[in-house]
Amino acid sequence: QFLDDAGVNVAAMLSLDCIDETESNDLDIQSTVIQFDHALPNRAHPMLIPDTAISAIALIPNLEAQIGRPVIAGNQATLWHSLKLLGYDCQASDAGVLLSGSQPTLPHD
């Protein structure tokens, strides 16, 4: 709902079905992202992993290469936004498209 309230259109949604942070942290996020990518094949849209209990930043470049679209994790987005608020440019070549400094143009449908 909060994404909708911020004007971000959620094209499709699937749940991780994790009951707590331990289960989220133990999740095989690589397999899960690939499974979700097959279920939600519109590659024009980034894939958001909003669960902050998942340490995904190091996996993001490989995930983006595998599924052919940006992957944005909750912790990664929080870091990006915090740095922007502090006036820093975000440029980390090994942390995915969001932190690369060259964000793609995304659809507004």
pLDDT digits (tens, 9 = 90+) for 10-35: 777 788 888 999 998 898 889 988 98
* pTM of the predicted protein model: 0.78
* pLDDT, the chain, mean: 83
- Predicted confidence (pLDDT) at residue 104 exceeds the cutoff of 70: no
27: number of CA atoms within 13 Å, CB side?
26
DSSP 10-31: ---------SSHHHHHHS-HHH
Q: Rounded CA gap, 68 and 107, in Å?
A: 15
What are the structure tokens assigned to 74, written together? 């909750």
